[in-house]
Amino acid sequence: MKAMIVEKRAPLEERPLQSVERPIPAPGAGEVLIRVEVCAICRTDLHVVEGELPVHKNPVVPGHQVVGEISRLGPHTSRFQVGDRVGVAWLWAACGACFYCLRGDENLCELPQFTGYDVDGGYAEYIVAQEAFIYPLPADLPSHQAAPLLCAGIIGYRALHRSDIRKGGRLGLYGFGASAHVAIQIARYWGCGVYVATRGERHRQLAKELGAAWVGEAADIPPVKLDAAIIFAPAGELVPGALRAVERGGTVAVAGIYMTDIPTLHYGTELFYEKNLRSVTANTRRDGEELLRLASEIPIRTHTELFDLEQANEALSRLKHDGIQGAGVLKIKKDN
Judge if 2-149+303-331 and 153-279 fold alike in CATH terms.
no
Architecture of domain 153-279: 3-Layer(aba) Sandwich (3.40)
pLDDT of residue 188: 98
pLDDT of residue 225: 98
DSSP state of 221: P
**pLDDT lower than 50: segments of the chain:** 335-336
pLDDT of residue 333: 63
Query: Are 155 and 89 contacting, i.e. CB atoms less than 8 angstroms apart?
Result: no
Tell me how far apart the alpha carbons of residues 291 and 195 are, in angstroms, rounded to a whole number: 22
Other beta carbons less than 10 A from residue 119's beta carbon: 20
**Number of helices followed by number of strands (H, E) in the chain:** 9, 17
pLDDT of residue 325: 87
Tell me how far apart the alpha carbons of residues 301 and 303 are, in angstroms, rounded to a whole number: 7
Those residues with Cβ within 8 angstroms of residue 119's Cβ, 6 or more apart along the chain or in another chain: 57, 92, 113, 128
Query: Are 310 and 330 contacting, i.e. CB atoms less than 8 angstroms apart?
Result: no
Alpha-carbon separation of residue 73 from 8, 27, 81, 126, 204 (angstroms):
33, 7, 7, 13, 44
pLDDT of residue 335: 47
pLDDT of residue 256: 86
CA 99 and chain centroid, separation:
25
Domain ranges of the chain: 2-149+303-331, 153-279
Tell me how far apart the alpha carbons of residues 128 and 231 are, in angstroms, rounded to a whole number: 32
Amino acid at 21: E
| Burial label, 97 (beta-carbon count in 10 A; 0-12, 13-18, 19+) | exposed
Element (H, E) at 249: strand 246-254
Nearest C-alpha neighbor of 28 from the set 140, 142, 177, 129: 129
DSSP state of 147: G
Query: Are 309 and 332 contacting, i.e. CB atoms less than 8 angstroms apart?
Result: yes
* % of the chain with per-residue pLDDT over 90: 95
DSSP state of 59: S
pLDDT of residue 27: 98
The string of DSSP letters for 256-314 reads: -S--PPPPPPPIIIIITTT-EEEE-----HHHHHHHHHHHHHTT----EEEEEGGGHHH
- Yes or no: domain 2-149+303-331 corresponds to CATH 3.40.50.620: no
Element (H, E) at 182: helix 178-189
Q: Could you tell me which residues are beta bridge partners of residue 6?
A: 17, 60
Amino acid at 11: P
Tell me how far apart the alpha carbons of residues 189 and 183 are, in angstroms, rounded to a whole number: 10
Tell me how far apart the alpha carbons of residues 330 and 124 are, in angstroms, rounded to a whole number: 10
DSSP state of 107: G
Tell me how far apart the alpha carbons of residues 9 and 46 are, in angstroms, rounded to a whole number: 10
Tell me how far apart the alpha carbons of residues 7 and 61 are, in angstroms, rounded to a whole number: 9
Percentages helix, strand, coil for the chain (3-state, rounded to 5) are 30, 25, 45
